[in-house]
Amino acid sequence: MLDKEKYLLPAGQFDYAKLLTEWKWLTGEEVRIIALTKCGDVLLRDIDNNLVFLDTGYAYLTNISDDYHDFLDKNLSMETLEQILQNEIIDHLEDCGLKLNSDEVYSFKVLPVLGGEYDENNMFPMNIYEHFNETGKAQFKIKDIPLEQEIESEED
């Protein structure tokens, strides 16, 4: 059984509104944070009480469940939990000696959407507020630029 608490930051420790300030362009105003992952991603409750996953590395929102309680009540599949929590990545980073302080998440030197990898060469501990601020601003700046894959398919 996966101990999800090992891969989450302690609840209630942060100013949730401040964390999402630079992400409002994607999340909207009517979301509430349910959980923060050590990989710097967020589980949200939207206005319709859906469980939504914000991936900060790729700047996308994924609807996980039509009831946010499914996460709290442990009603998600193991596969879904592993995708959200990225437990194997976190375990690997910790094995490589990259440990987090209580106010840090793993962030990126190069965003995955720009080709950065989820590994010890590209990820490092960063203050959680800086992570959400920097990734939100960067993702906003590049949101309208076609991805490399899209450019290649247009040339075909």
Judging by beta carbons within 10 Å of its beta carbon (0-12, 13-18, 19+), is residue 128 exposed, middle or buried?
A: buried
- Summarised one tens digit per residue, pLDDT across range 76-98 is 999 999 999 999 999 999 999 99
pLDDT the model gives residue 147: 65
Separation CA 69–CA 75 (nearest Å)? 8
Domain boundaries, the chain: 4-155
Those residues of the chain that have pLDDT short of 50 are 150-153, 156
Separation CA 153–CA 82 (nearest Å)? 31
Residue 148 structure tokens:
């490399």
What stretches of 29-80 adopt beta strand conformation (E)?
32-36, 42-45, 51-55, 60-65
Global confidence as pTM: 0.89
pLDDT the model gives residue 46: 96
